[in-house]
Amino acid sequence: MATSLDYQGLSYQQLLWSLIAKACSAGLKAEFYGVLRYPEGEFPLLKLSSMEHERLVVVSANIHGDEVAGALTFEHLGDIFSYADARKVSLIAYPCTNPTGFDRRIRYNIRNEMGNNDFLRYILPDGSAVDDIGEGRDFVEWKWSSDASLGQKLPLETQLLHEELKRLPFGCIKGAADLHQDCFLDFCATHYGSYAYVLDKKEELAPIARQAEGIVPLLRNTQITSGYGTVVDENGQVIANSSIGPWTDGHGFVKRHDGSLQDLFHRLGVPYTVTVETTGNVPLEKSVAVNLAWVRGIIDLAARA
Ligand SMILES: [Zn+2]
């Protein structure tokens, strides 16, 4: 599957207008849920939707700016939306939630602010607030990380996505897929394939992982250190990473309640959620194919939910 987008030199503005043109020709609604205003320029945040049906799936991508396979998956947005429509599922897509990171091919935003995937906090029995409870330790309650009582400063991209998500009809959302890429060099040098963050309903989601296995190897029983203890330099490039991290299970799944966008959807009662990962050494078209397999699989499950 070739992508007509020349991703190497592709700017966010080019991506944005290409996707808007495709959305218009496919009869989809294209709108901006916010605009990032930096001295370096303005970056509208794109939302695509088709809301004909009661059941809804949300697909998001490129929260980490260097993980371009997510945004490029929407090169196929006509196919994605018609697949959902044929199964009587509405779809909302956020193709690139970190435009300045996309432009620079860096993990965080133009200010190198971490916290772009910061969506909730767990209040522990001792009153402290943490964003990561591993596979699920006891907590008293959870809050959006933008809750005023926490006094948390979030990157502008994340603030605007919080505001947008709070407007969604959560009772209708039956599935959510957040598309990532594992671009950590140490990991990619020794691994090639895909894995996924899955919080529950493993048995129902496992067939999707096996389908993706027809595209690239599934990283079963593999330690994932990427994204833990990450340090970036002044240019936004990742220079250090933890040597410890969780292991995938026999399905290639990691269970991690880490306050991410997926974790938020899970806590809000969305039955089927996934964060899809392909290693950075997987050819782009194969990463896109894995992403499409997961998006279709989540739509199929949502249609039956
Ligand atoms: Zn990521």
CA of 52 to the centre of ligand 1 (A): 30
Give the distance (Å) from ligand 1 centre to CA of residue 183.
Answer: 8
User: Residue 89 CB: number of other CB atoms within 10 A?
Assistant: 25
**Distance between Cα 273 and ligand 1 center (Å):** 15
* CA–centroid distance, residue 217 to ligand 1 (Å): 19
Going from the Cα of 70 to the center of ligand 1, the distance in angstroms, rounded, reads 9
Measured CA to CA in angstroms, residue 149 lies from 1, 125, 152, 181, 263 at distances of 48, 17, 8, 33, 20
CA of 67 from ligand 1 middle (Å) equals: 6
- Quick one: DSSP state of residue 131? S
Question: Which long-range CB contacts under 8 A does 10-15 form with residues at least 24 apart?
Answer: 10/68, 11/103, 12/43, 12/96, 12/99, 12/100, 12/102, 12/103, 15/71, 15/95, 15/96, 15/102
- Residue 285's CB: how many other CB atoms inside 10 A? 14
Q: Where are the domains of the chain?
A: 7-304
d(CA 193, CA 287): 9
Those residues with Cβ within 8 angstroms of residue 139's Cβ, 6 or more apart along the chain or in another chain: 122, 123, 124, 125, 133
pLDDT tens, per residue, the chain with 305 residues = 344 455 788 999 999 999 999 999 999 999 999 999 999 999 999 999 999 999 999 999 999 999 999 999 999 999 999 999 999 999 999 999 999 999 999 999 999 998 889 999 999 999 999 999 999 999 999 999 999 999 999 999 999 999 999 999 999 999 999 999 998 877 788 899 999 999 999 999 999 999 999 999 999 999 998 877 778 888 888 777 777 889 999 999 999 999 999 999 999 999 999 999 999 999 999 999 999 999 999 999 999 99
Å from CA of 207 to ligand 1 middle: 23
Give 167 Cα–ligand 1 centroid separation in angstroms. 24
What separation in Å is there between the alpha carbon of 63 and the centre of ligand 1? 7
- Ligand 1 centroid – CA 123 distance (Å): 25
User: What pLDDT shows up at residue 2?
Assistant: 41
Residue 42 Cα to ligand 1 midpoint, Å, equals 23
CA of 174 to the centre of ligand 1 (A): 22
Non-local (6+) Cβ contacts of 171 within 8 A are 269
Q: Within a 10 A sphere around the Cβ of 283, how many other Cβ atoms?
A: 11
Interval between CA 126 and ligand 1 midpoint (Å)? 31
DSSP, res 37: E
Query: What separation in Å is there between the alpha carbon of 291 and the centre of ligand 1?
Result: 13
CA of 2 to the centre of ligand 1 (A): 23
Residues 147/267, Cβ–Cβ less than 8 Å = no
Distance CA 207, CA 92 (A): 24
Distance from the alpha carbon of residue 114 to the mean position of ligand 1, in angstroms:
12
**Residue the block writes with tokens 């194969």:** 286
Give distance in angstroms: CA of 159 to centre of ligand 1. Answer: 18
Q: 198: CA distance to ligand 1 center in Å?
A: 14
Distance 227 CA to ligand 1 centre (A): 7
User: How remote is the CA of residue 141 from the centroid of ligand 1, in Å?
Assistant: 26
Spacing, Cα 236 to ligand 1 middle (Å): 14
Q: How many Å lie between the centroid of ligand 1 and the Cα of residue 64?
A: 5
Written out in words, the top-level CATH class of the domain with range 7-304 is alpha beta
